[in-house]
Amino acid sequence: MNLQIQNLGKKYGPDLWGLREFSIQVEEGILGLLGPNGAGKSTFMRMLATVTPPTEGKITWGNIDIAENPDALRSVLGYLPQDFGVYPNLNAIEFLEYMAAIKGLEAKAARKRIDELLQVVNLVDSARRPLGGYSSGMKQRVGIAQALLNDPKLLIVDEPTVGLDPEERVRFRNLLSDLSGERIVILSTHIVSDVEAVATHVVLLNKGRILYTALPEEMLQQLEGKVWEWVVPSSELAALKQKHIVSGTIRRSDGVQVRVVSEDKPEIHAQSRTPNLEDAYLYLIGGKP
Amino acid sequence: MLGAAVFLGSQIAVNNLGMQLDEYRGEINSAWVGSLMSLMGTFFIGWFGFYLVKGSIAHDRKTGVGQIMAATPLTRFQYLFGKWGSHFAVLTILNLILVITGIGILLLAGENTQFNLFTMLAPFFFITLPTMALIAAVAVLFESIRFLSGGFGNVVYFFLFVIASDSLDKSRLAFGFDPTGMGIFRRSLWAAAEAAYPQFNGGFVIDIQSRLEPVQYIFPWSGVDWTLALVLQRFGLIGIALLLMVVAGKFFDRFEIPDYKRSRAWRKRKAIPTPVRKPDPAVSNITPVQLTPLQPAAKRFIFINLLDAELKNLLSGPRWWWFAVALVLVLAGGVFPPAFTRATLLPLAWVWPISVWSNMGNREIKHNVQQLAFSSAFPLWRQLPAQWLAGFMITFGMGFGAFLGMSMGGDMQGLAAFLSAAIFIPSLALASGVWSASNKLFEVLYIFIWYFGPINHLLGLDFIGTQGSGRPAFFALLSGLLIALAIFGRKRQISS
């Protein structure tokens, strides 16, 4: 099964495009979407999830145009929106049973699946508490569980690790890796390390357009020999940030250790370092944090 | 609401809605028109404007803006006073539309074109504004008291207003207190009518024109005599409004408790001890659990499963005592004589689940679940019918005792009215919920229809047919229209 997106666009006002000229072909694996706020990531996800109709362009699932037949995609879709709620009076089991009924799962199979999912998202102990009493991280985990209820062929997760503690974040990343074998997973996040850990392909978005699309290792290759670290006095940090892309700082007793992305060696004491995806992201976006 | 105020003004202007003292009325002059508009505004905008303005504190709480404001030097009273001011301004603007319409009526009627600004505007300043100030404060007070801040408060206000405006058609003032000022007009008008026609023997009604008696006598009336005592008495309402704000301040939590912690679910959570687990070093919490692939046969939509889930969801809010009362009402319907059941018990049984029905059609948006629900397959033709049917089953269930009694008594007319009502209620709830994305519209509309229809047998709104055969064909047809509206509205939501 593959997903083809051709010239997709979403217009919000006379001159305001949330997304434009977005074309990509997606195969099995995890596609990581990266981009600053307002880049168009959630707009893209909502159109893909059939929640928002596109203004122009076409999304094809297999041979099916989802604008003409959205239900063909909805029946194999798992979607975790960036911002969602739950029914506060239901407990996790009741809510997941309700979502399973909506998704057209047979009751017995749904119950078994819900039991497994509650273990996966580590909510077994809290499963019978009303959702209104859940913390935001727990609600997020319920959201993850509902997205996986129907064993989706296309899994769309928008900022899935928001509100999760570090342990749950790692657990979720492992889960995504396990799931990605025979399905398409589209992961949108601000947390570059999440994409770095699991994505098989990366799309970089900025101002509603695709800036860059590649394998993560291709992105990193571009940065070879362009990442540097050295120590500067605290007083020079502000000036340095004006001049270079600073991707990290660590305060030390003798000053501040800076990590800089630069085409040339920026300073005599600077040491070359192995690039990571965050360096690549900042370099390609061209931002100075 | 702005549209409703314009509509109200236009209905008065074209004489579809009027004020009379049985077959008497005053000459259409500045005093009459100013008082008419004031009365109409006080009555209609006072009654329903409350529902328009109530909800702004809940909005601040839901959006989290409240917590941001709570972290500023803004005091409890300043915040509530600001809310009161904005409510008062909104209600005043709506009433001003009626005042402007009134000027047009005076000029068009031509009975007395002499325009007296003070006489025209005095009822607005002395009657309408103090009443609106009080209603704005009541809205703030209700929102500050937890148990009055939701649907229950909406129903309470409805009846509170009915009691407060009792002076409209009764010879006494409600509890000697006349917050709507209607008794002031009535007394003055009666005195003028008696002076012109000694045979005049009372009567005062605001209604649609077709239900009013033909006017036989027109008497001159120069308006209420605005004595200082009377004006001070009216402005005393503003003092009461401010007092209510102080009371509201005592109840208002200043967003100390986040929205989710106010829920019963959160309080219940505290009662459940969190299990203490000793970490097992041999088993890491991060060990992934393998998911069993779902067999294709498991993906089989069964409508009854969804209906069951919808029923559980709709009935997940009420507490045990709600179900106990519901059971008593259902059983009583089967025990008491059919005539009593139909006239008294059935209306009660069909108002009790108002807070259950009012969740229909809006629950997805209210709880921000719409993206999850609408991205599932066939959201329009699976979820909406299941939701309607769940609402119908609750309605039918609540009236089951009455249904049995009518069936056994062979009351075919009663059964026809029963069925049309059982279809009408969930249809109204679903359409109101879908289009308003809130509980409020249904709660207000339904209680209005219920009060004037089954309880007072007015305006052809008796959808239960408590006295006589009712109007089953009309309400069945109306239900069809409401269902079509709900489908259209939901389709828009899904594809927007």
pLDDT higher than threshold 90 for residue A147? yes
Residues B44 and B178 in one domain: yes
Whether B273 is covered by a domain: the verdict is no
Give the contacts of B266 (CB within 8 A, at least 6 positions apart). Answer: A132, A133, B260
Examine the domain organization and report whether A203 and A279 are in the same domain. no
Do B249 and B306 sit in the same domain of this protein? no
pLDDT per position as a tens digit, B81-96: 999 999 999 999 999 9
Same domain, A225 and A211: no
pLDDT above 90: residue B25: no
Query: Could you give the maximum distance between any two Cα atoms of chain B, in Å?
Result: 101
Say which residues have a Cβ less than 8 Å from residue B304's Cβ, sequence separation at least 6.
none
What would the pLDDT profile of B354-410 be if each residue is shown by its tens digit?
A: 999 999 999 999 999 999 999 998 999 999 999 999 999 999 999 999 999 889 888
pLDDT digits (tens, 9 = 90+) for B482-492: 999 999 999 99
> Which chain B residue is nearest to residue A119, measuring alpha carbons?
B289
Q: Which residues contact B174 (CB under 8 A, 6 or more apart)?
A: B163, B164, B165, B166, B167
Chain A CB contacts of B309 under 8 Å are 97-98, 101-102
Is residue B303 scored above 70 in pLDDT?
Answer: yes
Residue A133 has its nearest CB partner, among B266, B368, B372, at B266
Q: Using a pLDDT cut of 90, give the percent of chain A over it.
A: 61
Boundary of a domain, candidates A199, A215, A231: A215
Instruction: Provide the shortest C-alpha distance from residue A112 to chain B (in Å).
Output: 9
CB nearest B288 (choices: A75, A112, A171): A171
Distance of alpha carbon B335 from alpha carbon B333, whole angstroms: 6
Chain B residue numbers touching A167 (CB-CB < 8 A): 285-286
Structural domain count of chain B: 2
Of the pLDDT bands very low, low, confident and very high (cuts 50, 70, 90), residue B284 is: very low
Q: For the residues B465-487, what does the mean pLDDT come to?
A: 91
Return phi, psi of residue B307, to 5°: -60, -45
Does B265 have pLDDT greater than 60? Answer: no
Model pLDDT for residues A50-75, shown as the tens digit of each residue: 999 999 999 999 889 998 999 999 98
Q: Do A133 and B383 touch (CB under 8 A)?
A: no
A175 pLDDT tier (thresholds 50, 70, 90): confident
Which pLDDT belongs to residue B282? 47
Any idea what the CATH number is for the domain that residue A194 is in?
A: 3.40.50.300
Q: What is the DSSP string of A158-170?
A: ESTTTT--HHHHH
Contacts of B282 by beta carbon, 8 Å cutoff, 6+ apart = none
In chain A, what residues touch B382 (CB-CB under 8 Å)?
Answer: 102, 104
Residues of chain B neighbouring A171 (CB-CB closer than 8 A):
285-286, 288
Classify residue B203: in a domain, yes or no.
yes
Res B459: pLDDT: 66
The residue whose two tokens read 């900022």 is A159
Minimal Cα–Cα distance from B305 to chain A, Å?
6
* Sheet of A154-158, strands arranged across: A77-80, A154-158, A184-188, A29-34, A201-206, A209-214
Q: What is the pLDDT of residue B288?
A: 58
Q: Which residues contact B105 (CB under 8 A, 6 or more apart)?
A: B12, B13, B28, B33, B36, B37
Q: What is the mean pLDDT of residues A208-219?
A: 90
- What's the confidence (pLDDT) of residue B171? 44
Across the interface, of A71, A97, A99, the residue whose CB is closest to B377 is A71
Structural domain ending residue among the three candidates A194, A215, A236: A215
Q: Indicate whether B290 belongs to any domain.
A: no
CA of A85: which chain B residue's CA is closest?
B368
pLDDT of residue B74: 86
Co-location of A132 and A52 in the same domain? yes
- Whether B169 is covered by a domain: the verdict is yes
Greatest CA separation for chain A: 68
- The predicted pLDDT at position B276 comes to 47
What H or E segment, with its residue span, contains residue B247?
helix B228-251
Q: What separation in angstroms does the CA of B44 have from each of A140, B12, B48, B73, B120?
A: 45, 12, 6, 38, 19
CB-nearest partner of A88 from B263, B291, B310: B263
Residues B134 and B250 in one domain: yes
> What span, in angstroms and rounded, lies between the C-alpha atoms of A55 and A67?
11
Measured between alpha carbons, how far is residue A124 from residues A144, A222, B89, B274, B309 in Å?
14, 45, 51, 12, 21
pLDDT value at position B270?
A: 52
> Do residues A255 and A181 share a domain?
no
Give the CA angle between residues A18, A19, A20 to the nearest 5°.
135
Q: Examine the domain organization and report whether B249 and B318 are in the same domain.
A: no
- pLDDT of B496 reads 76
Range of the domain at B485: 302-494
Is pLDDT of A205 > 90? yes
The answer to which of A30-44, A227-241, B148-162, B352-366 has the lowest mean pLDDT is B148-162
Residues A24 and A61 occupy one common structural domain: yes
- Please say if the pLDDT value at position A289 is more than 50: no
Residue of A104, A129, A178 lying closest to B300 (CB–CB): A104
What's the token pair of residue B50?
């409350």
B295 domain residue, yes or no: no
Among A104, A117, A146, select the one facing B377 at the smallest CB separation: A104
Q: Distance (Å) from the C-alpha of residue B24 to the closest C-alpha of chain A?
A: 56
Q: Are residues A228 and A93 in the same domain?
A: no
Segment B442-451, tens digit of pLDDT: 988 898 888 8
Same domain for A31 and A128?
yes
* Nearest chain B residue (CA) to A67: B495
B309 with A97: Cβ contact below 8 A? yes
Domain that holds residue A230: 221-285
Considering only alpha carbons, which residue of chain A is nearest residue B376?
A: A74
| Mean pLDDT estimate for chain B | 85
Above 60 in pLDDT, residue A288?
no
Domain boundary among A190, A215, A240: A215
ipTM of the complex: 0.87
Query: Hunting for tokens 């069993």 — which residue is that?
Result: B292
Q: Which of A86-100, A143-157, A193-207, B461-475 has the lowest mean pLDDT?
A: B461-475
What pLDDT was estimated at residue A276?
92
Tell me: pLDDT of A90 over 50. Answer: yes
pTM listed for this prediction? 0.81
Q: Is the model's pLDDT at A3 over the cut of 80?
A: yes
Nearest C-alpha of chain A: how many angstroms from B64?
A: 14
Would you call B369 and A85 a contact, using CB atoms and an 8 Å cutoff? yes
Instruction: Please give the pLDDT value at position B394.
Output: 97
Using a CB-CB cut-off of 8 Å, the residues of chain A touching B368 are: 83-85
Q: Is A269 left (phi over 0), alpha (psi -120 to 50) or beta?
A: alpha
Q: Which of B13-17, B216-220, B415-419, B451-455 is predicted with the least confidence, judged by mean pLDDT?
A: B13-17
Residues B381 and B234 reside in one and the same domain: no
Based on the fold, state whether residues A132 and A271 are members of the same structural domain.
no
Say what the pLDDT of residue B268 is. Answer: 58
Rounded to a whole number of angstroms, the distance from the CA of A160 to the nearest CA of chain B is 14
Calculate how close chain A gets to B70, using CA atoms only, in Å. 21
Question: A47: distance to nearest CA of chain B, Å?
Answer: 10
Does the distance separating the beta carbons of A81 and B372 come in below 8 Å? yes
Q: Which residue of A has its CA nearest to B286?
A: A171
pLDDT tens string A153-165: 999 999 998 888 8
At A143, is the pLDDT very low, low, confident or very high (cuts 50, 70, 90)?
very high
Specify if B297 maps to a domain. no
For the segment B227-235, the average pLDDT, to the nearest whole number, is 91
CB nearest to B372's CB, from A84, A101, A178: A84
Give yes or no: residues B232 and B346 share one domain. Answer: no
Q: Are residues B427 and B313 in the same domain?
A: yes
**How high is the pLDDT of residue B465?**
86
Residue A92: its pLDDT value, please? 95
Mutation test of the interface with chain A: which of B300, B313, B356, B371, choosing the one with the most A Cβ atoms within 10 A?
B371
Say whether both B333 and B453 belong to one domain: yes
CB contact under 8 A, A103 and B376: yes
Q: Which residue of B has its CA nearest to A176?
A: B288
Q: In this complex, do A151 and B309 lie within 8 Å of one another by their Cβ atoms?
A: no
CB contact under 8 A, B371 and A71: no
Question: Is B306 in the same domain as B257?
Answer: no
A287 pLDDT band, cuts 50/70/90, is low
Contact A74 B376 (CB under 8 A): yes
What pLDDT is recorded for position B150?
A: 82
Q: Same domain for B333 and B443?
A: yes
Chain B residue whose CA is closest to A136: B260
Q: In A, which residues are within 8 Å of B285 by CB distance?
A: 122, 167, 171
pLDDT score of B285: 52
Of the pLDDT bands very low, low, confident and very high (cuts 50, 70, 90), residue B263 is low
Interface touch A120/B291, C-beta < 8 Å? yes
Residue from A79, A97, A102 whose CB has the most chain B CBs within 10 Å, to mutate: A102
Quick check: B371 and A99 CB within 8 A?
Answer: no
Kindly list the residues from chain A whose CB atom is less than 8 angstroms away from the CB atom of residue B291: 113, 116-117, 120, 148, 151, 178-179
Question: In B, which residues are within 8 Å of A178 by CB distance?
Answer: 288, 290-291
How do A3-13 and A56-61 pair as beta strands? antiparallel
- For A249-270, the pLDDT digits (tens) are 999 988 999 999 998 898 898 9
CB pairs under 8 A between A and B: 163
Mutate to test the interface with B, among A43, A55, A84, A89 (most CBs of B within 10 A): A89
* Six token digits for residue A30: 């995890």
Supply the pLDDT for residue B173.
45
Is pLDDT at B290 greater than 80 in this prediction? no
Q: Domain check: are B248 and B308 in the same one?
A: no
If one counts the domains in chain A, the total is: 2
In this structure, the number of other CB atoms found within 10 A of the CB of residue B271 comes to 8
pLDDT score recorded for residue B460: 79
Residue A175 · residue B286 · CB < 8 Å: no
User: Is A133's CB within 8 Å of B495's CB?
Assistant: no
Residue of chain A whose alpha carbon sits nearest to that of B277 = A125
**Residues of chain B contacting residue A141, judged by C-beta atoms under 8 Å apart:** none
> Is residue B285 situated within a structural domain?
no
Residues B317 and B201 in one domain: no
Confidence of residue A246 (pLDDT cuts 50, 70, 90): very high
Q: Tell me the chain B residues in contact with residue A175 when contact means C-beta distances shorter than 8 Å.
A: 288
**B467 pLDDT tier (thresholds 50, 70, 90):** confident
A16 shares its domain with A53: yes
Look at residue B281 and tell me whether its pLDDT is greater than 60. no
